[in-house]
Structure 1
Amino acid sequence: MSLIYVHCYVPGAFLIPFTVMLFLEGIPLFLVELGIGQRMRLGSLGVWNTIHPWLGGIGITSCVVTFFVALYYNVIITWCFFYLFNSFQSDMSDPQSPLPWANCPMINNTEVPECEKSSETAYFWYRTTLDSSPNIDELGDLKWWIVILLLLAWVVVFFIMMKGIQSSGKVVYFTSMFPYIVLTIFFIRGITLKGASAGLVHMYTPKVEKLLDPKVWLDAATQVFYSFGLAFGSLIAFGSYNTPDNNCVRDVILVSITNAFTAIYASVVVFAILGFKAMTNFDKCLVNNKMKLFQHNLLPNASVSTDIYESTLANLTAINATMDIDLETCDLSQQLNQV
């Protein structure tokens, strides 16, 4: 998923450095780690100590890094559990709404100002899920629902890993296939949404000037390390379970192609939905502007077509009191950059 976050702020241009780094560092290091694990039949600590005792620190460091990354990703699993359980609830203010984050909460028949200024999903994330403090200097209290779900996440991980490769290997059959089922469902739904095409065009529109930014290449290299699990020691450990005559080159090529395809496939799904969100915000902006123009008697009604609205907007001058109208800038490209 980290590819999606990086891809969001450098759309179009990121695929080029990602592909370059995939061949320069991803596939070679993947082959090295899998190969030495298969050859020496040892884990990360044993492999590096065998190569040279002074390199044993690399194995120790990889274990420490893996521990902290596991802490980080278990928090993400916790948030997933929270959304999963809340998806079985409906919005109390609107029984017809399928999800609690579909609408802003109402107080005295008025939407909460904070939610109205942001969005329904952002309000649910920051207020209902995290209940985040106003600033980073205020730690806030522990949220009992997050604490319980974090404990649940660790319990699930424990039961998956408690028997080592015997239990985790069986779980992989589910964890490797289920995401593709979910992605396909989201893909079918996403491409049917209004604005999906705009999101996909935005995703694959190249921004060549971004290729001159060293940070883009650094992020691409970082993404390759995360997507393959390089330098964490896990590939060495998995390779140690292969038979000595296993064709690890074939495995590396197959996994690399599958990994790259999955990353692009997931990006298509996400950007189709982001395009829908941007189009929704764009339409909301148009509705607000039409209402303001209607209130100033510059439109016959607030439901006129977009062509009439744009024609009226182009003919506005300072003489007809436009200075009193606080119109928003409705730009789909800007909305795509913001979502």
Structure 2
Amino acid sequence: MEKQDMMLTNMLNMDKGEKEGEREKGRAEIPGAEEEGTQQENGRLMLADGLAERGTKSLSSGSEQQVSNGFNTSTPQSPKEGPGSAACSGGTASAPGGGPGSSVPPGGLRTLVVQQTSLERPRETWSKKMDFLLSVIGYAVDLGNVWRFPYICYQNGGGAFLLPYLLMAVFGGVPLFYMELALGQFHRSGCISIWKHICPIFKGIGFAICIIALYIAFYYNTIMAWALYYLLSSFRPVLPWTTCSNSWNTANCNRYMSTDHNVSWSNSSTSPAEEFYTRQVLQVHRSAGLHQLGAVSWQLALCLLFIFTIVYFSIWKGVKTSGKVVWVTATFPYLVLLVLLVRGATLPGAWRGVVFYLKPDWEKLLSTTVWIDAAAQIFFSLGPGFGVLLAFASYNPFHNNCYKDALVTSSVNCLTSFLSGFVIFTVLGYMAEMRKQDVGAVAKDAGPSLLFIIYAEAIANMPAATFFSIIFFLMIIMLGLDSTFAGLEGVITAMIDEFPHLLAKRREWFVFGLVCVCFLGALSTLTYGGAFVVKLFEEYATGPAVITVVLLEVIAVSWFYGTDRFCNDIKLMLGFSPGFFWRICWVAICPCFLLFIIISFLAFPPEVRLFDYHFPPWTTVLGYCIGVSSFICVPAYMVYYLLNAKGTFKQRLLKSITPVPSGDQYRDYIITNAV
């Protein structure tokens, strides 16, 4: 006994001498009763019930000693699973159930747990669990749920489209969503610094993600500026896009609702809503195209400045403040959607829109395009690969049930898309009834035009048009704000985690500089031809690049880091390991899912056009160059890493794919002594 105690003391003293001045003094703790939500939860304590099981096995082979750092343990357990545990510093602790009748003799097992914690500043956490959930939902539910899903759904077979959409969600979207939440929560790092814990040579993925997020911020917020212009224009007794007597209207402007019996409609006729959008808000008639954008619209510049001001004061202090803002920005859109759904359902002809939306065309499932659109829609709707899920999850308690969070938030996102279809198509059915046209003729516009022309015109012809216009465009702004909060927070978290000594104490100034960069980068989208720039960025600058980045991400995690290791990490957090379904999705199905989207995009590049402007061939080259400018970070960093690493090429290569233990700054020394 004395000899064994002396060995334990020597081992602890040796480690203490090596870490002196870098870590706090070792202290004994009792694992198993850890309080969820504390900032030290990623200490990854080994459980005494697991240790007791090992110690019991060691009794049969004589007196042994086991030492582990807790991170590389092969049998991690959740602190909520064990019925109880004990630890002592130089004392005696019995195994769980080690009282009378226990197979472990009294004093037969002694477990010493020494945890050494770092002197680093504790990581910020969410104030409440709902702050995190609302932030993720607000990020996932964006403008695309309102305009893109309904349009793609009716275009690809109506109700029949729901089958490929759900299949792509189950086998592709949700597994990627779950993977990113688990990675962020376990490693507690942003999208750049996390790669040293997964596969260091892939660190360029993090830089690529940040550049893609900036590109999105350059054009996405401009759409909110358009919505703000509409919102401010709604505070009038008569909405300005209902008449043809304004200064921006042309001789082709015609109102052609059923009550206007004297209107003569021709192919050259335009609605007042279309002219308000194109000639007053965008002023695209003053631009010849991408080669001649024109001047900056000062009205839109002021609107965008106001949007970025809201963004700055919502995220400048971190998730503590943004988590409170999303209680409004993430919930208000649902209230408005319900109001608009009820109002739309009571309009004449609403049933025509619903039938058009849901009537299945099963033959379209034989078309490859339908499956491509389903895969792309679920991917961009859930939003893995933008660094946001990693950042948000990194502020969670270590033992938070991210598995449940992934299922809940992804389900809410899909249901919101489905609900938005009813909101849009009840109104389109009403428009078709008033125009005496088919719903398909009314719903010919896609993208922002569906909101700013078709839906705006429908609202203008409703009773209480001003009220519905105000709440509708306020909803559009809030949907966009949530996504902007999330996208920039992903960049902020990544940069602060990568350069903590430079940026951690200067967060407010860094956020201010980032917002200024985004505003300056968006100036080209505020010109008279800015809508063409928005379309170019949307089609080329982000889509293919981010899908390729996520493909490399899932390959790095599943094939290099290893599915078994990743599942053990999840078991350490949640107390259970992902089943076979999740493993096969991460290893094979998700890479095939992403590769399918990439190949489809390259084989069938989209025809880029906006209004009557067809993008010339050189714009395709420009778009691909913008996309490659972000993705190039991945191979560039690989070359940089291999050139700067020390040792032979084989040693460099081995080091480049060897992860650094994520729990190194919170090392646990577990020593089990059976006597």
Counterpart amino acid of 2:283? D
In 1, distance between residues paired with 2:250 and 2:183? 58
Q: Is 1:53 matched with 2:207?
A: no
Shift, 1:11, TM fit: 4.9
Partner of 1:119: 271
Partner of 2:84: none
Q: Is 1:7 matched with 2:153?
A: yes
Contact 1:11 1:205 in 2 (8 A): yes
Q: Which of 302, 315, 325 is residue 161 of structure 1 equivalent to?
A: 315
Counterpart amino acid of 1:38? Q
In 2, distance between residues paired with 1:106 and 1:29? 50
Contact 2:428 2:443 in 1 (8 A): no
| Partner-residue secondary structure (3-state), 1:14 | helix
Shift, 1:138, TM fit: 4.1
Shift, 1:105, TM fit: 2.2
Partner of 1:195: 349
Distance 1:138 1:4, change over 3 A: farther
Q: Is 1:75 matched with 2:222?
A: yes
Partner of 1:32: 179
Shift, 1:334, TM fit: 4.5
| Mapping 1:1-339, distance limit 5 Å | 1=144, 2-12=148-158, 13-90=160-237, 97=238, 99-105=239-245, 112-116=250-254, 117-133=269-285, 135-136=288-289, 137-282=291-436, 331-338=437-444
In 1, distance between residues paired with 2:206 and 2:310? 26
**Over aligned residues, Cα RMSD in angstroms?**
1.9
Counterpart amino acid of 2:185? Q
Q: Give per-residue Cα distances to partners, 1:69-99, cap 9 Å, x unaligned.
A: 2222201111111111000023xxxxxx3x1
How high is the sequence identity, in percent, across the aligned residues?
37
Distance 1:22 1:171, change over 3 A: same
In 2, distance between residues paired with 1:171 and 1:72? 23
Counterpart amino acid of 1:124? F
Counterpart amino acid of 2:367? D
Distance 1:24 1:275, change over 3 A: same
Shift, 1:20, TM fit: 1.2
Q: Give per-residue Cα distances to partners, 1:182-201, cap 9 Å, x unaligned.
A: 11111111111122110110
Contact 1:38 1:236 in 2 (8 A): yes
| Structure (1 or 2) with the larger CA radius of gyration | 2
In 1, distance between residues paired with 2:153 and 2:288? 27
In 1, distance between residues paired with 2:396 and 2:314? 20
Contact 2:185 2:396 in 1 (8 A): yes
Shift, 1:14, TM fit: 2.8
What are structure 2's unaligned runs of at least 5 residues? Answer: 1-143, 255-268, 446-675
In 1, distance between residues paired with 2:149 and 2:439? 21
Distance 1:333 1:274, change over 3 A: closer
Aligned length: 281
Contact 1:199 1:274 in 2 (8 A): yes
Shift, 1:238, TM fit: 0.8
In 2, distance between residues paired with 1:333 and 1:225? 28
In 1, distance between residues paired with 2:211 and 2:162? 31
Contact 2:353 2:430 in 1 (8 A): yes
Contact 1:225 1:231 in 2 (8 A): no
Contact 2:153 2:161 in 1 (8 A): yes
Counterpart amino acid of 1:125? Y
Distance 1:173 1:334, change over 3 A: closer
Counterpart amino acid of 1:24? F
| Partner-residue secondary structure (3-state), 1:113 | coil
| Partner-residue secondary structure (3-state), 1:338 | coil
In 2, distance between residues paired with 1:258 and 1:192? 25
Q: Give per-residue Cα distances to partners, 1:237-288, cap 9 Å, x unaligned.
A: 1111111111111111111211111111111101111111222222xxxxxx
Instruction: Provide TM-score, normalisation by structure 2.
Output: 0.40
Distance 1:11 1:278, change over 3 A: farther
Partner of 1:316: none
Distance 1:333 1:155, change over 3 A: closer
In 2, distance between residues paired with 1:236 and 1:140? 39
What are structure 1's unaligned runs of at least 5 residues? Answer: 91-96, 283-330
Q: Give per-residue Cα distances to partners, 1:154-175, cap 9 Å, x unaligned.
A: 1111111111111111111111
In 2, distance between residues paired with 1:194 and 1:219? 31
Partner of 1:287: none
Shift, 1:210, TM fit: 2.5
Distance 1:36 1:221, change over 3 A: same
Distance 1:153 1:26, change over 3 A: same
